[in-house]
């Protein structure tokens, strides 16, 4: 089966409540795909992804609350929205975003900053900020020698036959050529498996 948003659990909004910090959507969860309390998820409205948390899930009457800080993308009462957890939701957002610009780029190793953080050694591509609290301890020539596909985690590097190039968006997310043609081009969520 190829996954689509039709197959995702649904949340039917019955009431909207706003306060200074949050919007709370009260509603009903899908009986066939019970959502659990504290599920960090997205509600999806076309290509808009609204991040939040399901709280107060009542498994007897299937009522729940979805709490979000997103006050820009408003959802409406008496409408049903598909929900995805944050892992698959992040990937689905990449695939369904029509405004995102993708460029085919041959991977080229670049220098990396070597750093120490909590006793562990790490590398960061030169030009990017080190993680909080990291101490820079040196430079590794051409140390940034691969990227991973955001969807399937395939390695993209100069030494990977057929994956010596990838597709890169404006936020430096890399996708391998197979995921690009299977999912991004086709706007397909076929990589999701629940
Ligand atoms: Zn991939």
Cα(163) to centroid(ligand 1), Å: 9
pLDDT in tens, 46-83: 889 999 999 999 988 999 999 999 999 999 999 999 99
**Which residues are within 5 Å of ligand 1 (an ion), measured at CB?**
149, 151-152, 154, 176, 179
> How confident is the model over 99-105, as a mean pLDDT?
95
Are 194 and 119 in the same domain?
A: no
pLDDT for the residue numbered 34 = 66
Are 71 and 123 in the same domain?
A: no
Are 10 and 38 in the same domain?
A: yes
Model confidence at 157: pLDDT above 80: yes
Cα(32) to centroid(ligand 1), Å: 30
Q: Among 57, 73, 96, where does a domain finish? A: 96
For the chain, what is the domain count? 3
Provide Rg for the chain, Cα atoms.
20
Are 78 and 17 in the same domain?
A: yes
Are 151 and 140 in the same domain?
A: no
Cα(48) to centroid(ligand 1), Å: 23
pLDDT for the residue numbered 168 = 97
Cα(131) to centroid(ligand 1), Å: 26
Are 53 and 131 in the same domain?
A: no
For CA atoms 162, 163, 164, 165, the dihedral sign is positive
Cα(44) to centroid(ligand 1), Å: 23
Cα(35) to centroid(ligand 1), Å: 28
* 3-class SS letters over the chain: CCCCHHHCCEEEEEEEEECCCCEEEEEEECCCCCCCCCEEEEEEECCEEEEEEEEEEECCCCEEEEEECCCCCCCCCCEEEEEEEHHHHHHHHHHHCCCCCCEEEECCCEEEEEEEECCEEEEEECCCCCCCCCEEEEEEEEEECCEECCCCCCEECCCCCCCCEEEECCCCCEECHHHHHHHHCCCCCCCCCC
pLDDT for the residue numbered 85 = 92
Are 33 and 66 in the same domain?
A: yes
Whose CA is closest to 66, among 47, 52, 50, 85? 52
pLDDT band at residue 20, thresholds of 50, 70 and 90? confident
| CATH code for the domain of 12 | 2.40.30.20
Cα(99) to centroid(ligand 1), Å: 20
Are 92 and 18 in the same domain?
A: yes
Are 11 and 91 in the same domain?
A: yes
Are 128 and 179 in the same domain?
A: no
Cα(101) to centroid(ligand 1), Å: 17
Domain that residue 194 falls in: 100-107+146-194
Alpha carbons 96 and 100: distance in angstroms, whole number: 9
Are 87 and 117 in the same domain?
A: no
Cα(151) to centroid(ligand 1), Å: 5
């Amino acid at each position: 089966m190829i996954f689509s948003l039709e197959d995702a659990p649904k949340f039917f909004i019955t009431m909207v409540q706003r306060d200074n910090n949050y919007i709370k959507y009260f509603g009903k969860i899908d009986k066939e795909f019970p959502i659990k309390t504290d599920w960090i998820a997205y509600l999806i409205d076309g290509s808009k992804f609204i991040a939040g948390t399901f709280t107060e899930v009542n498994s007897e009457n299937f009522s729940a609350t979805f709490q979000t800080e997103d006050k820009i993308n408003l959802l409406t009462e008496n409408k049903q929205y598909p929900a995805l957890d944050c892992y698959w939701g992040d990937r689905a957002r990449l695939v369904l975003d029509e405004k995102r610009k993708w460029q085919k780029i041959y991977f080229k190793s670049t220098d990396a900053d070597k750093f120490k953080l909590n006793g562990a050694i790490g590398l960061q591509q030169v030009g990017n900020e080190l993680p909080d609290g990291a101490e820079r301890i040196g430079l590794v020539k051409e140390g940034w020698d691969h990227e991973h596909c955001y969807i399937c985690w395939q390695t993209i590097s100069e030494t990977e036959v057929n994956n010596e190039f990838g597709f890169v968006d404006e936020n430096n997310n890399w996708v391998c050529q197979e995921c690009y043609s299977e999912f991004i081009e086709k706007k397909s969520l076929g990589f999701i498996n629940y």
